[in-house]
Amino acid sequence: MQNIAILGATGSIGQSTLDVISLHPDKYNVVALTAHSNVEKLITQAIQFQPDYLVMSDLNNYSVIKQAVQSANLSCEILVGEAGLCQVASAPNVDSVMAAIVGGAGLMPTLSAVKAGKKVMLANKESLVMCGDIFIQEVNKTGAQLLPIDSEHNAIFQCLPNQFEYGNLAASGISKILLTGSGGPFLTRSLDSFDEITPDQACAHPNWDMGRKISVDSATMMNKGLEFIEAKWLFGLNSEDIQIVLHPQSIIHSMVQYADGSVLAQMGNPDMKTPIAHCLAYPNRIHSGVKPLDFSQLADFSFQVPDLLRYPNLKIAINACEAGQYATTTLNAANEIAVEAFLSNRIAFSQIAHVNDEMLQAVESQNLHDIEGVLALDKQVRAQAKKFIGMLV
């Protein structure tokens, strides 16, 4: 029986994780569930899974969650804020942590799980984007097991050789990592109409069911840029080791190209329950509830090079990756503020890239040696981005 804490239980990854767990009640025990503000959904989950802890990261919801727990006759302990998230992520009775909080808010709880030596199923890519070097150093120091949940990185992980040598593709017989992306909902939309894109249109992904922030990132292809950065740290890669390929059907989730000319691809229906099940059971396999591919129904596999005029955020992210940690920390903070402004109809879709580029130009190159420096820069950039957006409105 594996004891699990789910950080971000009410989001799409958290709900999918609970769906998989519900298929295997003899294998997994939910110890902790966390949410930001969705009390109703969290209580519904708690009634079904009976965790020891419930955490609300929004401090303003403490009285609401307390009353709801009493009304539902639940016996779980209630914790709040970042401190509560970090407490359950590192709790002695937790074996595995699903790190599924969206954005920079997930960094400290995920890092707490790593420092406690847990099995960490990483869906919070921002942890590596914000402080990849520090994060990987902690993984190596504590012996935490880091397993990638993002479908692309999970696909790469599945296609790597058993004796993969971190940071040395040549020694593993690998020539390149092929990171696939769908291109989002605006793959063929006229560029001169991008200023007219609405939040609902940007969130209508053609293949994946995701939260609104990640959906917008997919539409701008910032999500692929963040995944580019994440891949660097997960597998010890250089920028030239990674090639981004557009694959609109989202059936091939990513590929590994070997020196002998072979290419191994991981395929499956676009459903996050597949990589979740893979990481929950690793190195074994369990049923995920996802229908297998029916190859007789696959009419087309197409691939193309991403158009950087259509996806300026992708180029911005790759440049940030090459510039170093300060730049990727800056980019993540700026993008979160810019996407939030777009979703609240304060800036146009095309202005997201403008905000991100402006912040990268404004922040001076610097060395980030510790988490305090990362958090200070993150706070500084968010304030600058909000001020800049105020000037645009």
Please give the annotated binding residues, written as ranges.
10-13, 38, 124-126, 150-152, 182, 205, 211, 218, 223-224, 227
d(CA 8, CA 38): 10
77: which 2 tokens? Answer: 């302990």
Per the annotation, binding residues for 1-deoxy-D-xylulose 5-phosphate are 125, 151-152, 182, 205, 218, 223-224, 227
Strand ranges of the sheet holding 119-122, from the earlier edge strand across to the other edge: 77-80, 53-56, 28-35, 2-7, 96-99, 119-122, 145-148
Q: Which residues are annotated as a binding site for Mn(2+)?
A: 150, 152, 227
Rounded-to-5 percentages of helix, strand, coil across the chain: 50, 15, 35
For residues 313 and 100, give the distance between their C-alpha atoms in angstroms, rounded to a whole number. 23
- Known binding residues for NADPH are 10-13, 38, 124, 126, 211
What is the DSSP pairing of strand 252-258 with strand 263-267?
A: antiparallel
Maximum Cα–Cα distance across the chain: 63
Query: Radius of gyration (Cα) for the chain, nearest Å?
Result: 20
User: Do the beta carbons of residue 50 and residue 25 sit within 8 Å?
Assistant: no
Exposure string of 99-116, with b = 16+ CB inside 10 Å and e = fewer, is bbbbbbbbbbbbbbbbbb
CB count in 10 Å sphere of residue 287: 11
Paired tokens of 174: 């690998």
